[in-house]
Amino acid sequence: MMGMNAKRKLKSIRFHIGACALGFLMIYPLLWLLASSFKSNETMFLDTYSLIPKVWAGGKNYASGFAGVGGVKFSTFFFNSLVVTVVGTLGCVVTSLFAAYALSRIKFRFSAFWFGCVMMTMMIPPQVMVVPQYIILKKIGLIDTRTALVLPWFFGGAFFIFLMVQFFRGIPRELDEAAEIDGCGRVGILFRILIPVVKPAIVTSSIFAFYWIWQDFFQPLIFMNSAKRFTIPLALNMYLDPNSYNNYGGLFAMSVISLLPVIVFFIIFQRYLVDGIAMDGIKG
């Protein structure tokens, strides 16, 4: 019996050591980014893999990073990203919710066909859609505005629609019928009966949409011309200038700052994310 207990303890120790080692490897890039934000430009690449700065220059790096680039402060880039991300996430989730409700709970002709069309759009690379989006936005005069970055998200997302449809299909239709008997219309059924049930799917969609919009580089690159309207991913690229001075310290410092909203948002809603994926897997 003592031998069995010893083997179990040894196995547990090996497992935890391996898990810690793997976890360290996964989090090492973030630790390196954080450590590099405190290193001076002169010593940053002398000992590349070290997490301990030889020369501490964190104050200088963060000050130069917040000072911005191209005559625009970093706070402007942060505000642009925050507005675009919050409004875009809200619009994407709401429109996806309405589309999923219509496709899963309302009977109309060719509903299966239209749902299949929505699913097929998941196979289209988002970069392909930028060209027609640019042409449309150019003709209505929205290029180089924050609206150009927000508007495409107000037409929903195929992945989010699919996720919510799966949740809606797992809810008995008897709830809809009972609500109709009590005098609820379709809008009342959605907001009073269904939304509280599919909350995990809504929060999961919000997390993914927030992350995708926040880190999007390609759309701002195509739609934006003025530096004062750049979002953070596009602005960080401006800290590197091969023709003059590369402000690596400011770049890494502002990269750390740019990660904070995503990390905080994920920490707050991670419980709903796990619940949403688990419940969708069970229903599937």
> What confidence tens digit (pLDDT) does each residue in 216-237 have?
999 999 999 888 999 999 999 8
Per-residue exposure over 80-110, b if at least 16 CB sit within 10 Å of its own CB, e if not: bbeebbebbbbbbbebbbebbbbbbbeeeee
26 and 120 in a single domain? The answer is: no
45 and 146 in a single domain? The answer is: no
**Residue 260's CATH number:** 1.10.3720.10
Residue 273's pLDDT is 67
273 and 132 in a single domain? The answer is: yes
Domain that holds residue 39: 2-62
- Answer for the pair 248, 35: CB distance below 8 angstroms, yes or no: no
Q: Residue 68: exposed, middle, or buried by beta-carbon count in 10 A (0-12, 13-18, 19+)?
A: buried
121 and 216 in a single domain? The answer is: yes
Task: Calculate mean pLDDT across residues 40-45.
Answer: 82
The structural domain count of the chain equals 2
226 and 111 in a single domain? The answer is: yes
Q: ∠212-216-219 over CA atoms, to 5°?
A: 125
35 and 162 in a single domain? The answer is: no
Q: Residue 59: exposed, middle, or buried by beta-carbon count in 10 A (0-12, 13-18, 19+)?
A: exposed
Comparing 41-50, 93-102, 203-212, the range with the smallest average pLDDT is: 41-50
Residue 52 tokens read as 């301990």
Residue 212's pLDDT is 92
199 and 176 in a single domain? The answer is: yes
181 and 159 in a single domain? The answer is: yes
Comparing 77-81, 104-108, 156-160, the range with the smallest average pLDDT is: 104-108
Residue 242's pLDDT is 63
Residue 284's pLDDT is 46
Confidence of residue 8 (pLDDT cuts 50, 70, 90): confident
Confidence of residue 151 (pLDDT cuts 50, 70, 90): very high
